[in-house]
């Protein structure tokens, strides 16, 4: 297989998988086997691309000419490789988890769930490998639409309301801001290809670039920069695997990934640094980091707390992009990976608490470490990664983000990062500590009752990965080095 074919297959495999899943819907075991097989094939394909990218090549392939002069085309470059690698790997893990969760929780319409899940992954691959802004925009919208049935999976009035917010904000921002920004760029430069060093420098004057940047960053609603963050807590109404993979990894990372892409390949870091609005957006991202952390502390529902934590963590990456320095971008890119593994672990644990103990509120989880020690331990590791403490990978991304802030001379941003980490400690570690050390002694008699085995396997993999990334962050680091080019 040539590299070009692999790229196309990587986008098409999950789509074909979705078709097969729909066909095998009547036989759940076969259906799940198809999901897992598709995930493995996809990961194998993506893994095959890694040596090519690591060698510094950026092969590209054009699918078809959508408009005169504008094609749907794909290219693999290091940043997209990181995103694709994470999404495809975690899809396998999530699929393993879903089998236990969906059955253990007796969910309805499981076939529909797996079908749209696979389509969403296909869209995420399309975003990761997008060769130009049009392709990225197309798959961005496909991702929004394909995740809508997952968010509203339960079909209840709550789900419907959440679906409205989800679709309204994500589609509203993308149509109102992003589409205009894309077409404006096209009309200014005559190209939408992602180009090293950016395409706007020299083509757009200061004011235009300032407005464009705002349109891009707010238009990418999936990055959940305040004030367009409301969709993310709303989406928590979905089944937990959806929250775990899509709303901790694929969808939100597609958002911040797009922000990084725009910053690096549309504006170019040097040009970005000169734009006035990049400072404002930097401060807005910093504000989002703090405010979302504070809101997270007030939430008693575990998934809601994790959602606000995600909003806060996503803004780290936006912040890294807006620093417009090499180290800032490096840290932002690494944080995509580190946060993904940390947050998916936390969501897996939240789902496990729900399936095994039927608990959703943090205040009910006192002493849960005694009945579910393994899950609670994994939660502890995931929390450490989010906070940025050893022995987890989260340390590295925060490290480089802080260095990037120093490089840009933004001492205040360093302070924000520190304060936010402290807040993380408060609102995340509370759960495992209360789980292990509080609760009535009378509960001692309680037997160990963990989540289904497949859930535990998934939790085990993702929490181990958090620690592996502490010792061995090299793949991610090397790829980001290639992005910033030094």
Partner 1 sequence: MAALVSSHLPALQVVLALLAAPVCLLLRRPNASWAVATAITWTLLAVSIALLERVLQSGTIIYALGGWPAPWGIEYRIDLANAFMLVIVTVIGSAVMPYARASVEAEIPVERIYLFYCMYLLNLAGLLGIAITGDVFNLFVFLEISSLSSYVMISLGRERSALTAAYRYLIMGTIGATFYIIGVGMMYMVSGSLNMADLASLLPDVGGSRTVMVALAFITVGLGLKLALVPLHMWLPNAYTHAPSVVSVFLAGTGTKIAVYAMMRIIFTVYGGMGVFDDFGLGEMLMALGIIAMIGASAVAIYQDNAKRLLAYSSLAQIGYIVLGISMASVFGLAAGIVHLFNHALIKAGLFMALGCIFLRIGSVKIEDMKGLGKAMPVTMAAFVAGGFGLIGVPLTAGFISKWYLLQAAIEKGWWLAIIALLISSLLAIIYVWRVVEAAYFQDRDKKAPAVSEAPVSMLVPMWVLIGASIYFGINATMTMDVAIGAAEALIGGIQ
Write out the two tokens for 176: 């109102």
290 is an interface residue for partner 1 by CB under 8 A: no
Among 22, 23, 33, 138, binds partner 1 (CB under 8 A): 138
Q: How far apart are CA 264 and CA 485, in angstroms?
A: 11
Task: List phi, psi (to 5°) of 228.
Answer: -105, 50
Question: Shortest approach of partner 1 to residue 109 CB, angstroms?
Answer: 10
Site for partner 1 in 329-348 (CB under 8 A): none
- With CB under 8 A as the rule, give the number of residues binding partner 1: 28
Question: Shortest approach of partner 1 to residue 256 CB, angstroms?
Answer: 21
Where does this chain touch partner 1 (CB under 8 A) — which range of 38-46, 165-173, 260-268, 415-423? Answer: 165-173
> Contact letters (x/-) for partner 1, 310-329, by CB under 8 A?
--------------------
The position carrying tokens 């090397």 is 478
Q: How far apart are CA 305 and CA 23, in angstroms?
A: 38
Q: How far apart are CA 318 and CA 336, in angstroms?
A: 10
> Contact letters (x/-) for partner 1, 178-197, by CB under 8 A?
-xx--xx-xx----------
Question: Shortest approach of partner 1 to residue 38 CB, angstroms?
Answer: 22
23 is an interface residue for partner 1 by CB under 8 A: no
Where does this chain touch partner 1 (CB under 8 A) — which range of 39-47, 61-69, 99-107, 195-203? Answer: 61-69
The closest alpha carbon to 74, from 129, 11, 3, belongs to 129
Task: List phi, psi (to 5°) of 392.
Answer: -125, 160
**DSSP states along 53-64:** HHTT---EEEEE
Write out the two tokens for 279: 């400072």
Instruction: Report in angstroms the alpha-carbon separations of 374 from 30, 87, 306, 361.
Output: 30, 25, 19, 19
65 is an interface residue for partner 1 by CB under 8 A: yes
227 is an interface residue for partner 1 by CB under 8 A: no
Among 47, 160, 274, 471, binds partner 1 (CB under 8 A): 160
The closest alpha carbon to 86, from 43, 53, 120, belongs to 43
Enclosing H/E stretch for 405: helix 394-407
Q: Are 118 and 150 in contact (CB under 8 A)?
A: no
The closest alpha carbon to 278, from 325, 342, 341, 323, belongs to 323
Report the b/e string of 24-56 with b at 16+ CB within 10 A: bbeeeeebbebbbebbebbbebbeebbebbeee
> Contact letters (x/-) for partner 1, 69-88, by CB under 8 A?
---x----------------
Instruction: Report in angstroms the alpha-carbon separations of 354 from 113, 308, 359, 362.
Output: 19, 19, 5, 11
Question: Shortest approach of partner 1 to residue 308 CB, angstroms?
Answer: 26
Question: Shortest approach of partner 1 to residue 66 CB, angstroms?
Answer: 6
Where does this chain touch partner 1 (CB under 8 A) — which range of 97-105, 159-167, 254-262, 384-392? Answer: 159-167
Question: Shortest approach of partner 1 to residue 30 CB, angstroms?
Answer: 22
158 is an interface residue for partner 1 by CB under 8 A: no
The position carrying tokens 């420098």 is 201
26 is an interface residue for partner 1 by CB under 8 A: no
Question: Shortest approach of partner 1 to residue 161 CB, angstroms?
Answer: 10
> Contact letters (x/-) for partner 1, 33-52, by CB under 8 A?
--------------------
Which residues are at the interface with partner 1 (CB under 8 A)?
Answer: 64-68, 72, 137-138, 141-142, 145, 152, 155, 159-160, 164, 167-168, 171-172, 175-176, 179-180, 183-184, 186-187
């Amino acid at each position: 297989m040539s590299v070009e074919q692999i790229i196309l297959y990587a986008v098409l495999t999950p789509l074909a998988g979705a078709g097969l899943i729909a066909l095998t819907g009547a036989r759940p075991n076969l259906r799940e086997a198809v999901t897992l097989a598709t995930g493995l094939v996809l990961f194998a394909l993506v893994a095959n691309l890694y040596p090519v990218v690591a060698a510094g090549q950026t092969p590209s392939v054009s699918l078809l000419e959508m408009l005169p002069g504008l094609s749907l085309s794909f290219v693999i470059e290091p940043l997209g490789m990181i995103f694709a690698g994470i999404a495809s790997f975690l899809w396998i893990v999530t699929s393993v988890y879903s089998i236990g969760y969906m059955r253990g929780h007796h969910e309805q319409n499981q076939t529909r769930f797996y079908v749209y899940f696979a389509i969403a992954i296909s869209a995420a691959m399309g975003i990761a490998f997008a060769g130009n802004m049009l392709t990225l925009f197309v798959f961005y919208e496909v991702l929004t639409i394909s995740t809508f049935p997952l968010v509203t999976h339960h079909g209840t009035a709550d789900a419907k309301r959440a679906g409205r917010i989800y679709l309204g904000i994500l589609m509203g921002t993308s149509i109102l801001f992003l589409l205009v920004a894309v077409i404006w760029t096209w009309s200014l430069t005559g190209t939408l290809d992602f180009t090293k060093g950016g395409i706007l420098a020299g083509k757009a004057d200061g004011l235009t670039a300032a407005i464009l940047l705002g349109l891009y960053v707010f238009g990418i609603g999936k990055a959940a920069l305040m004030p367009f963050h409301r969709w993310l807590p709303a989406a928590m109404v979905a089944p937990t695997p959806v929250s775990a993979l899509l709303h901790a990894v694929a969808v939100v990372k597609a958002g911040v990934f797009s922000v990084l892409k725009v910053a690096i390949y549309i504006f170019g870091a040097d040009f970005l640094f000169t734009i006035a609005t990049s400072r404002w957006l930097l401060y807005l991202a910093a504000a989002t980091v703090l405010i979302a952390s504070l809101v997270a502390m007030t939430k008693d529902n575990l998934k809601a707390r994790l959602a606000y934590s995600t909003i806060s963590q996503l803004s780290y990456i936006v912040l890294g992009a807006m620093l417009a320095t090499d180290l800032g971008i490096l840290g932002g890119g690494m944080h995509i990976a580190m946060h993904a593994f940390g947050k998916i672990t936390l969501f897996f644990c939240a789902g496990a608490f729900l399936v095994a103990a039927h608990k959703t509120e943090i205040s009910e989880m006192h002493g849960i470490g005694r009945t579910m020690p393994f899950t609670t331990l994994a939660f502890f590791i995931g929390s450490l990664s989010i906070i940025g403490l050893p022995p987890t990978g989260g340390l590295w991304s925060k490290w480089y983000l802080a260095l990037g802030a120093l490089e840009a001379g933004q001492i205040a941003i360093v302070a924000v990062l520190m304060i936010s980490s402290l807040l993380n400690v408060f609102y995340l570690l509370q759960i495992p500590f209360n789980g292990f050390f509080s609760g009535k002694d009378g509960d001692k008699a309680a037997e160990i009752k963990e989540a289904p085995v497949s859930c535990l396997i998934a939790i085990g993999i993702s929490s181990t990965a958090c620690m592996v990334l502490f010792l061995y962050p090299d793949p991610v680091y090397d790829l980001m080095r290639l992005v910033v080019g030094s």
